[in-house]
Amino acid sequence: MEEPYVHKIFIRDKHRYAPHPEIKTFVGKTGLDGNKVADNPDKAIFCYPIQHYTYWNDILDPPFSEFGELGEDMAVLEMGEQSVCIGDSYAVGDTVLQVSQPKSDTRFLNKEMAIKMLKTGKTGWYFRVLKEGNMQAGSDLTLLERPYPNWTIAACNEVMHLQKGDLRLAADLVACQALGNSWKNILSKRVGHIV
């Protein structure tokens, strides 16, 4: 497998494709410049694997008119839910990003699309920003740390959406310190205690 890299960055519905030095995007604790999230640093950047776009376009009618329709901040190559883990920290340009949780909110999706995304596990994931800086399309993502190799995004999605009755797995996932607070809260209620 090749080294993962940022394929596209989406700013206010505009793509920033080219890996040219003059097209840099500032990444702050609240998200990409121009795409600031409200008050949840665990959801600073929504990342989506570009390999999924072909899948969705094959089953959607009409297909996506353009990338970015899922509300993603960036699209990546050579990464997916089976290979990305909670707590993974990546250097990207001048920034350091850490995987916090799978995407499960549906604010950019219609109900049918949201259900399909959760059932297929093609959810993408969120990054929190550990170090602010600049990045650009074409930047490599260099893995710095993988503290929770058992908690892939795919495994988290299974616990949350498919294995709801397995309270032991849910409790184990809640114990993952790098997991985003919104997921911890939902799973804590499921297992009957507050984090």
Provide the pLDDT for residue 109.
67
CATH number of the domain enclosing 32: 2.40.33.20
Provide the pLDDT for residue 193.
56
Provide the pLDDT for residue 114.
78
What's the longest Cα–Cα distance across the chain?
Answer: 51
Residue 162 lies in a domain: no
Residue 177 lies in a domain: no
Residue 71 lies in a domain: yes
Residue 24 lies in a domain: yes
Residue 190 lies in a domain: no
Provide the pLDDT for residue 176.
97
Residue 106 lies in a domain: yes
Condensed to tens digits (0 to 9), the pLDDT of residues 24-70 reads: 888 999 988 766 666 789 999 999 999 898 888 888 777 776 677 78
Specify the number of domains making up the chain: 1
Provide the pLDDT for residue 58.
85
Residue the block writes with tokens 């109900």: 111
Torsion, Cα of 124, 107, 111, 163 (10° steps):
50
Mean pLDDT of 2-21: 65
187 pLDDT band, cuts 50/70/90, is very high
| Structural domain for 37, as ranges | 5-148
Condensed to tens digits (0 to 9), the pLDDT of residues 85-140 reads: 999 999 999 999 999 999 987 666 677 777 888 888 899 999 999 999 999 888 89
Task: For 45, list phi and psi in degrees, rounded to 5.
Answer: -135, 125
The answer, yes or no, to whether residue 152 has pLDDT greater than 80, is: yes
Provide the pLDDT for residue 55.
87
Provide the pLDDT for residue 195.
46
Q: Kindly report the pTM of this predicted structure.
A: 0.90
Mean pLDDT of 171-178: 96
Whole-angstrom Cα distance, residue 103 to residue 125? 5
Residue 35 lies in a domain: yes
